[in-house]
Structure 1
């Protein structure tokens, strides 16, 4: 009887250890990721590259909405317009400092796909319309060559193993090269991404993936 009880106890411990070892794990360090992105900025391809345990750079390019800064008797202010069949091309770089990943790990929250809160400096260049002319004499809504620099706070969260979303808020300064106007603007962004591929970055310890919501 005692031997049967001992065998049962060892079996339970063995199954427990096996189950624990088969739980999905996630890297605690930032990873590099190639992504398909879609959001308020448009649709494009991005690459996020870490160069330390907290710092990374996000580079992306694609097609999306355009901008103009008009200061005349007809219109005044910063305008953002997304015309589906008349997109502009954009090129974006974002320097990110992700500051709370260790706290998320301690609380059992996921850090998959570089999840965490961050502050960032972003530079974005948008062209005029890719298809057709953009000047006021030919269209009702001009989309001009514009450079946007902004500082923002954001949060990045995983949606399963391959998807993630990103939300940021901040303030920016835009320069319209066609009209030669500039202006401050409130910055806001929402983006969803599908991770095509990724590989380990810095500080690649592993942690058990929690089932808690982000």
Structure 2
């Protein structure tokens, strides 16, 4: 009888250890998202057990009081560290499609290009920004997700000055 208990204990502990090893971000996740302002397509590529590299292209507006609106492209690279995946699995919450809390460092490039404007004389300002941020990503259904995050960082406009930049986002999307 002792042998049966020992075998059962070893089996249960080996299953528990094997489940811990399987807690990881997805190999590759492709999304389209929209928020209050803008549209984005992105991919999260697994680099390590809890780290992804998010590459993203989007169209975002700039509102100029009295002059109109300019829609411009934004290119982003953002390494993300999903820090609570094991805790979510322990509590029985899903982690599919990288559902979890994350820390990221967003590197944005906004070229001097206009996609659409209601004033043909308006131009955009070429800039780069570096923004550490915190956020959450959750899924509902098999393919839908929402994401919220915020951060504060540094923005450099090539023709002008350097600024502080807030990055606050709330998006809903679809995962392929």
Query: Would you say the 8 A contact 1:44–1:63 is kept in 2?
Result: yes
Equivalent runs, 1:73-112 vs 2, <5 Å = 83=69, 86-112=70-96
Alignment of 1:123-134 (within 5 A): 123-128=107-112, 129-131=114-116
Q: Work out whether residues 116 and 155 of structure 1, in 8 Å CA contact, stay in contact via their aligned partners in 2.
A: yes
Three-state SS of the structure 2 residue aligned to 1:65 is strand
Change (3 A) 1:134 1:98: farther
Contact 2:53–2:80 at 8 Å: present in 1 too? yes
Structure index of larger Rg: 1
Q: Does the alignment pair 1:146 with 2:127?
A: yes
Q: Distance in 1 between matches of 2:37 and 2:23?
A: 29
The Cα RMSD (Å) is 2.6
Q: Which runs of 5+ in 1 are unaligned?
A: 1-26, 69-74, 76-81, 197-214
| Bigger RCO of structures 1 and 2 (CA < 8 A, at least 6 apart) | 1
Alignment correspondent of 1:42? 38
Deviant stretches of 4+, over 6 Å: 132-135
TM-score (norm 1): 0.63
Q: What stretches of structure 2 of length at least 5 have no aligned partner?
A: 1-21
